[in-house]
Chains A and B, each alone.
Chain A
Amino acid sequence: MTSLKKLLLGEQGLVVIFAVAFAIVALTVPNFLTERNMLGLLQSVVTIGIVACTMMFCLASRDFDLSVGSTVAFSGMVAVMASNASGSILIGLIAALICGGGVGLVNGVVIARFRINALITTLATMQIVRGLALIASDGRAVGINDPGFYQLALSKFLGIPTPIWVMIAFFIVFGFILNRTVFGKNTLAIGGNPEASRLAGVNVSNMRVWIFALQGLVCAVAGVLLASRITSGQPNAATGLELSVISACVLGGVSLAGGRAAMTGVIVGVLIMGIAENVMNLLNIQAFYQYVVRGLILLLAVLLDNLRSAAAGRRT
């Protein structure tokens, strides 16, 4: 009993839970373990997966970003409109990156320099940016003119769609940044104790601006891929994304109190979110129920986080 508990709440607990869940689902849900479904599943978590990379940094440094969903929609919108107007996909891409990065930069500056609570700031930008996306498109979806744009999502390499490769690349790059660079260590240090980090010479406010700016840039990439996949810029795309992403991170062992994060955990968290959704689709469960399930997963995730830190027996 105690060893089971240890296993579940320990470092590798999540991987164990994931493996078990995966095995059960693979055995019981028809059509789950097919190549087509697996690729579909991975496709479906691309947005969450990519955005979770930087959300991990945000949470690890004791911050929070609610504006990611809006930023994804907005930058996807911008990419489509800019490439339609200019006739160049590259310009569309650059415009999206500038807009996404810009939103992140604003978030970062307001939070780090003006010391406004991250929750409030990003709640505000979440609405503003969504509003901007709606204004820019007059509330309608904007179709992509250049078929080359579809190719971003449709093209394959070694039989696997490009967006999945992009996601994998992000996992590797951000995993490396977290574990092997000063930037990553400083992020975790800030989350562990911001004041001590500041006095230790970590430029805390610069770091936070950077983290949010990165988050914005990464949202832009996710937005472009999403627009390409749904063949249009949708002002209402990616609603509720922030919650799925945060759930995935927390599920992956990123502490909401900061200072604790691991890329492998986040990957597993993302996959669990994806599997839950995929299974519900395969079993034809109504979309309405999916909200309930998503909420439950989030609750479970936080509960697990709590149990885990209690089990770690941290002295206060």
Chain B
Amino acid sequence: MQDFLDFKAISKGYPGVQALADVSFSVKKGAVHGLMGENGAGKSTLIRVLSGDQSADTGEIRIDGHLQHYRSVRDAFEAGVIVIHQELQLVPELTVAENLWLGRFPGKAGVIDRTRLVGVVKEKLADIGIDIDPTVKVAALSIGERQMVEIAKAVMADARVIALDEPTSSLSSRESEILFTLIDRLRAQGKVILYVSHRLDEIFRLCDSLTVLRDGKLAAHHPEIAKVTRDQIIAEMVGREISNIWGFRPRERGAIRLEVKDLSGRKLRTPISFNVRQGEILGFFGLIGAGRSEMARLVYGADSRAQGTVTVDGATVTPDSPPQSIRSGIVLCPEDRKFDGIVQGRNIEENMAISSRRHFSPFGLLQPKKEAELAERFIAKLRVRTPSRKQDIINLSGGNQQKVILGRWLSEQGVKVLIIDEPTRGIDVGAKSEIYEILYELAGQGMAIIVISSELPEVMGITDRIMVMCEGRVAADIERADFDERRILAAALPDVSNASELPNQQVQSR
């Protein structure tokens, strides 16, 4: 097989950052090519250049031997290149079929040919094995299903090159598996697929070849993935060896810090009760939609409670609102960084200090020096890749934005209970282990920590205890000594037949 997609000496700079420097590699037809690297290494930038969204400063892209000259996404689209970004680009109020035809509806004189509209889509979806009704509105689909629709869009457009930027970061493992089957099928059809991910498992499961970027430069190119090892890739990415990314250390667990009793709200109807001890890291595992984030938001007071109480060190937290919770020592690092986390248009420093600055701002007067110092400390600690702390957060790469949001909460003082929802989504391996280290350190100081994660290895790797949630209820509560992958997964699955066998009697008998 010949090289189909060629990058030659691609460079791209932003003010203060060389996002890509002289990157060259090529991908064969019918191959899934992985793209890995630390946060800010330039992966998304490379994909943006490929999709015509940004133009490279220098360098050439060739598809099937032909030099590409496109200047816009539209041009790239016409050349057969389609990118599926992490933030999906569908119109929620239109149906699946309408979304797939958007921009070129079939029909005459402006009147849409309904039968073709649905018929063709049905065929195409069946063709690639996607089981979604083309007449439902996109708003009614899960994130995983929407991703399928995005891919179907690429297939409908007869794309030759499809690039996916961290497609699985908000998918459940089951949805991811469906996505992988779909990608396998596209590979068999001879498409070229560029696949960006921070998850090594996926890379090994899917990819034929791999490129590792570091600081915008090509760190390694592996035409055959079978010839590399995980450790080798990690070393190429972060420039050092990481033997054990979890690095779990057992800790003393003290008295009960957080006590949640019969808490329920509009989106979490079944009352939920649990507690977390000093120095304990409690994991919440479950499928997407199991109610973990809703639980967290209720505890934090982000959503209003229907009933229930939250106590910290024996003192009841009232009224339930984020400022009150923060004052009582509960903080929440939210799941959706784009909508609930970053403050667009403001710089890193401001985004980090937004909450904790009240501790060092007498009479509401800012202390620029202290804010700068705080920002510099966490930029270094979390290894945020940025030219300066004054950089607008919107200009950071996805993972670096996440780090800044984490910094916001890790820098908060007087925290007794730290709840983090999907802490390492989109974060590279190196930074992940740093973050776990920080969590252990904080737990060691007596903080009670709740980690919500959809990544089973992560929950199993770093927590003392796991509560498994399923369809808005606690389905299991398992101590570290009894961690067992199969048992946890079984509890997470909303299967009625095995629900009765699971150790959730304590919940049902209430």
Contacts and interface: CB of A to CB of B under 8 A. Distances in A.
B343 A193 contact: yes
A181 interface: yes
A36 interface: no
Interface in B328-369: 331-332, 334, 339-346, 350, 354-355, 357-358, 361, 364-366
Given A180-B365, A199-B302, A201-B326, A189 B354 contact: yes
B322 interface: yes
A202 B354 contact: yes
7 contacts: A181-B361, A182-B365, A188-B346, A196-B342, A197-B343, A201-B355, A315-B395
B147 to A, nearest CB: 19
B409 to A, nearest CB: 9
B335 to A, nearest CB: 10
A193 B339 CA distance: 7
A interface, by DSSP: helix, strand, loop or mixed?
helix
B326 A196 contact: no
A195 interface: yes
Interface string B115-154: 0000000000000000000000000000000000000000
A255 B322 CA distance: 27
B73 interface: no
A316 B341 CA distance: 15
A315 B332 CA distance: 26
Contact of A196 (B300, B321, B323, B341): B341
A309 to B, nearest CB: 9
B322 A201 contact: yes
A85 B321 CA distance: 46
B408 interface: yes
B339 A196 contact: yes
Contacts of B323: 201-203
Contacts of A193: 339, 342-344
B490 interface: no
Interface in A63-111: none
B478 interface: no
Contacts of A180: 365-366
B355 A196 contact: no
**Most A C-beta atoms less than 10 A away, residue of B300, B323, B342, B358:** B323
B326 A192 contact: no
B23 interface: no
A209 to B, nearest CB: 14
Contacts of B339: 193, 195-196
Interface in A164-208: 179-183, 185-186, 188-189, 191-193, 195-203
A130 interface: no
A192 B395 contact: no
Interface in A267-316: 314-316
A314 B14 CA distance: 12
B63 interface: no
Interface range on chain A (Cβ under 8 Å from partner): 20 to 34
B346 A189 contact: yes
B334 A199 contact: yes
Contacts of A253: none
B394 interface: yes
B360 to A, nearest CB: 10
Interface in A183-241: 183, 185-186, 188-189, 191-193, 195-203
A211 B376 CA distance: 32
A259 interface: yes
B135 to A, nearest CB: 30
A82 to B, nearest CB: 33
Contacts of B87: 316
**Most A C-beta atoms less than 10 A away, residue of B302, B340, B354:** B354
Given A185-B366, A201-B355, 16 more contacts: A179-B366, A180-B366, A182-B366, A185-B350, A189-B343, A192-B343, A195-B340, A196-B334, A199-B302, A199-B334, A200-B322, A201-B322, A201-B331, A202-B354, A255-B345, A259-B344
Given A180-B366, A185-B366, A259 B340 contact: no
A185 B353 CA distance: 10
A181 B353 CA distance: 13
Contacts of B354: 185-186, 189, 197, 200-202
B322 A259 contact: no
A308 to B, nearest CB: 12
A186 B331 CA distance: 18
Nearest to A309: B345
Nearest to A191: B345
A182 B364 contact: yes
Contacts of A198: 302, 322
Contacts of B334: 196, 199
Interface string B284-328: 000000000000000010100000000000000000011101100
Interface string B379-398: 00000000000001011000
A315 B394 contact: yes
B50 to A, nearest CB: 16
A278 to B, nearest CB: 34
A32 to B, nearest CB: 37
A195 B339 CA distance: 7
Closest 9 A/B residue pairs (Cβ): A259-B345, A192-B343, A201-B326, A182-B364, A193-B343, A192-B345, A201-B355, A200-B354, A200-B355
A64 B78 CA distance: 43
A185 B371 CA distance: 12
Contacts of A201: 322-323, 325-326, 331, 354-355
A200 B322 CA distance: 7
Contacts of A200: 322, 343, 354-355, 408
Contacts of A260: 345
B347 to A, nearest CB: 11
Contact of B350 (A189, A199, A316): A189
A176 to B, nearest CB: 9
A224 to B, nearest CB: 27
Contact of B364 (A181, A191, A314): A181
B416 to A, nearest CB: 15
A196 B343 contact: yes
A199 B364 contact: no
A202 B350 CA distance: 13
A196 B366 contact: no
Nearest to A194: B343
Contacts of B357: 182, 185
Interface string B188-224: 0000000000000000000000000000000000000
A314 B394 CA distance: 7
Contacts of A259: 343-346
A179 B354 CA distance: 14
Nearest to A314: B394
